[in-house]
Amino acid sequence: MAENRSSKPGRRGRPRQAEVARLAGVSQTTVSLVLGGNKQGIALHEDTRARVFAAARELGYVPDPAARRLAAARNNLLGVFSFTATFPTAVEHSYYPFLVGVEQEAAAQGYDLVLFTGSSSGGAQAGEPGALDRVRLADGCLFLGRHVPEDQLRRLVADGYPAVHIGRREELDGLAWVGADYVAASAEVVRHLTDLGHRRILLVREDDDAPASTDRERGFRTALAGAAGPLSAAGPARVVRTADPAADITAAWVRARVGEGVTAFVAEETDTGGAWRALHAAVAAAGLDAPRDVSLALLGSPPADLAGARQPTGFDIPRAALGAAAVRLLTALLAGEERAEPLVACGFRPGSTTGPPPGGPGTTV
């Protein structure tokens, strides 16, 4: 026998279908039928429907999500699981910007959200085996964060659990994801520079091979390949990799590159913003002004602590749009539909660090 129900926490007086049925003078099945939207298209007396609705409203009936799920129906719950602290004090690592879109789209589609407090201190760590299984309570789940517990996620996916990762994640076969189109966005920024007349453009990137970095370089190269003029002329490498931007990107280095005819620098955005930060500082230290002496562009958004500085030309990752796209993809998955285009366009940000090259368009030195 189950424990006395009044001693069960969180359930005091929560009405069930049986009680609604009693009040309405019908069977519990009928209540389920009426309240469940009658998917089977079974004929029901309008009278009965009305009485059931009235009774349900009077009692404040709400279906139990667990029971619903157990009975193989759906919850109208979408999970959100972050592998980094969900609401960290450091805002820049928060997933709030995504949540803006997730929440809006979820609302639009009639879903509530379950925030799995996965990785916060005190809660179950995402690393713990089985930590991810909690998400099965929801109809489907959104995942985000840098470090994914691959095994667990793979398992979930293999089991056919609807999961969508926010951010490109192709190493997990079969995992659906939505991501920002860094290639196109980067190309657009560089094209902006070539359109202004720049011919010698340098990309400063950090020394790792994350997809986000690779994509940006690809966009950079694409735009250069498509530009008119003496772009392919011999000269210094157009892409500079550095494991330690602060040490390598110095005022002297910038002066040297400018001396070689470089008129524009492009930095990739990373976690730390190291490349941009270093470039920014080095240009200033070299006594150069952007966009007067050189043009500067950032393939992404500036770190928060540089918010006071001049808005860099670049692009913004449409976090809210990504969140919304993720929800759309997830609900499509739930409906058994095919996945759509996973890439979301980034918005070009004109900023004010770019202009024509000092010597006029097309100048190479």
Q: In the complex, what is the shortest distance from the CB of residue 58 to DNA, in angstroms, rounded to a whole number?
A: 15
260: left (phi over 0), alpha (psi -120 to 50) or beta: alpha
- The smaller minimum CB distance to DNA, of residues 44 and 210, is found at 44
- The smaller minimum CB distance to its own copies, of residues 137 and 239, is found at 137
- Rounded to whole angstroms, the Cα distance separating 235 from 222 reads 18
CB atoms within 10 A of CB 108: 12
- Residues in contact with 215: Cβ distance below 8 Å, sequence separation at least 6, in sequence order: 168, 182, 183, 186
Residue 40 binds which one of DNA, its own copies, none, with CB within 5 to 8 A depending on kind? Answer: DNA
Residue 218 binds which one of DNA, its own copies, none, with CB within 5 to 8 A depending on kind? Answer: none
Classify burial at 110, counting beta carbons within 10 Å of its beta carbon; exposed 0-12, middle 13-18, buried 19 or more.
Answer: exposed
Residue 121 binds which one of DNA, its own copies, none, with CB within 5 to 8 A depending on kind? Answer: its own copies
Q: In the complex, what is the shortest distance from the CB of residue 26 to DNA, in angstroms, rounded to a whole number?
A: 3
- The smaller minimum CB distance to DNA, of residues 5 and 147, is found at 5
Residue 33 binds which one of its own copies, DNA, none, with CB within 5 to 8 A depending on kind? Answer: DNA
Q: In the complex, what is the shortest distance from the CB of residue 143 to its own copies, in angstroms, rounded to a whole number?
A: 14
- Rounded to whole angstroms, the Cα distance separating 30 from 363 reads 80
In the set 17, 86, 263, 270, which binds DNA (CB under 7 A)?
17
In the set 10, 47, 90, 174, which binds DNA (CB under 7 A)?
47
- When asked if residue 5 is in the footprint of DNA (CB under 7 A), the reply is yes
- Residue 278: strand, helix, or coil: helix
- When asked if residue 108 is in the footprint of DNA (CB under 7 A), the reply is no
- Residue 22: strand, helix, or coil: helix
> Which residue spans within the chain are E strands per DSSP?
77-82, 112-116, 140-144, 163-166, 176-180, 201-206, 239-242, 264-268, 295-299, 313-316, 343-344, 347-349
- Rounded to whole angstroms, the Cα distance separating 127 from 105 reads 29
Residue 17 binds which one of DNA, its own copies, none, with CB within 5 to 8 A depending on kind? Answer: DNA
- When asked if residue 3 is in the footprint of DNA (CB under 7 A), the reply is yes
The mark string for 58-97 relative to DNA (x by CB under 7 A, - otherwise) is ---xxxx--xx-xxxx------------------------
**DSSP single-letter state for residue 167:** S
Binding span for DNA by CB under 7 A among 3-11, 174-182, 237-245, 352-360:
3-11
Binding span for DNA by CB under 7 A among 38-46, 97-105, 236-244, 282-290:
38-46
Nearest alpha-carbon partner for 324 in 142, 118, 91, 115? 142
Contacts with DNA, residue ranges (CB under 7 A): 1-3, 5, 11, 14, 16-18, 25-30, 32-33, 35-36, 39-40, 42-45, 47-48, 61-64, 67-68, 70-73
